Chains A and B, each alone.
Chain A
Amino acid sequence: MNRFELLNLLQNIIQKELVVCNIGLPSQELYKINDRPNYFYMLGSMGLASSIGLGLSLAVNKNVISIDGDGSVLMNMNTLATIGNRAPSNYTLLILDNGSYGSTGDQKTFTNERTSLKDVAIGAGCKNVIECSGEETDQNLQKALADKNNSYVIISKIKSGNVPIKPIPLNAVTIRDRFRKEIGLVSYL
Chain B
Amino acid sequence: MKISQKIITNLKSGGADFFLSVPCKLLANMITILENDKDIYYSAIPREEEGMGICAGAYLGNKLPCIMMQNTGIGNSVNSIVSLLQLYQMPVVFLISYRGTPGEPVGAQGGMASVTEDILNTLRIPMLHCNTEQDLDKISTFTNHAKVIENPVAVLCNFNLMKDD
Residues of A within 8 A of B (CB): 20, 40, 42-45, 47-60, 64, 76, 78-79, 81-82, 86, 172-173, 175-176, 179-180, 183, 185
Instruction: Tell whether A55 pairs with B79 under 8 Å between CB atoms, given A43-B87, A79-B50.
Output: no
B61 part of interface (Cβ distance < 8 Å): yes
Nearest CB in chain B: distance from A28 CB, A: 16
Chain B residue with the shortest CB-CB distance to A66:
B57
Nearest CB in chain A: distance from B94 CB, A: 15
The 8 A-B pairs at the shortest CB distance, nearest first, are namely: A59-B61, A55-B57, A44-B83, A51-B53, A48-B53, A56-B57, A55-B54, A45-B84
Question: Are B57 and A82 in touch, CB under 8 angstroms?
Answer: no
User: What are 11 residue pairs bridging A and B, where the CB atoms are less than 8 Å apart in the complex?
Assistant: A43-B87, A45-B52, A45-B84, A50-B53, A51-B53, A52-B57, A55-B65, A58-B58, A76-B49, A79-B47, A180-B62
Contacts of A180 in B (CB 8 A): 60, 62
Question: Are B61 and A45 in touch, CB under 8 angstroms?
Answer: no
Question: Are A40 and B60 in touch, CB under 8 angstroms?
Answer: yes
Chain A residue with the shortest CB-CB distance to B54:
A55
Contacts of B18 in A (CB 8 A): 55, 58-59
Tell me, in angstroms, the Cα distance from A69 to B65 when the chains sit together.
26
Nearest CB in chain B: distance from A53 CB, A: 6
Question: Are B80 and A45 in touch, CB under 8 angstroms?
Answer: yes
Question: Are A78 and B52 in touch, CB under 8 angstroms?
Answer: no
Question: Are A59 and B46 in touch, CB under 8 angstroms?
Answer: no
Tell me, in angstroms, the Cα distance from A145 to B102 when the chains sit together.
52
The 0/1 profile, CB within 8 Å of A marked 1, for residues 53-79 of chain B is: 111111111110100000000000001
Tell me, in angstroms, the Cα distance from A49 to B41 when the chains sit together.
20
Main secondary structure of the interface of B (DSSP, over half): helix
B43 part of interface (Cβ distance < 8 Å): yes
Question: Are B88 and A172 in touch, CB under 8 angstroms?
Answer: yes
Question: Are A51 and B50 in touch, CB under 8 angstroms?
Answer: yes
Contacts of A48 in B (CB 8 A): 49-50, 52-53, 56, 80, 84
Partner of A79, one of B53, B59, B65: B53
Nearest CB in chain A: distance from B163 CB, A: 29
Instruction: Tell whether A51 pairs with B60 under 8 Å between CB atoms, given A43-B87, A173-B89.
Output: no
Partner of B89, one of A56, A79, A172: A172
Nearest CB in chain B: distance from A51 CB, A: 3
Tell me, in angstroms, the Cα distance from A54 to B52 when the chains sit together.
11
Nearest CB in chain B: distance from A149 CB, A: 20
Contacts of A42 in B (CB 8 A): 84
Given contacts A48-B53, A55-B60, A82-B54, 7 further A-B contacts (CB under 8 A): A43-B83, A45-B80, A48-B56, A51-B54, A78-B46, A176-B90, A185-B62
B115 part of interface (Cβ distance < 8 Å): no
Contacts of A175 in B (CB 8 A): 88
Contacts of B61 in A (CB 8 A): 55-56, 58-60, 183
Tell me, in angstroms, the Cα distance from A50 to B49 when the chains sit together.
12
Chain B residue with the shortest CB-CB distance to A42:
B84
Partner of A82, one of B41, B45, B58, B89: B45
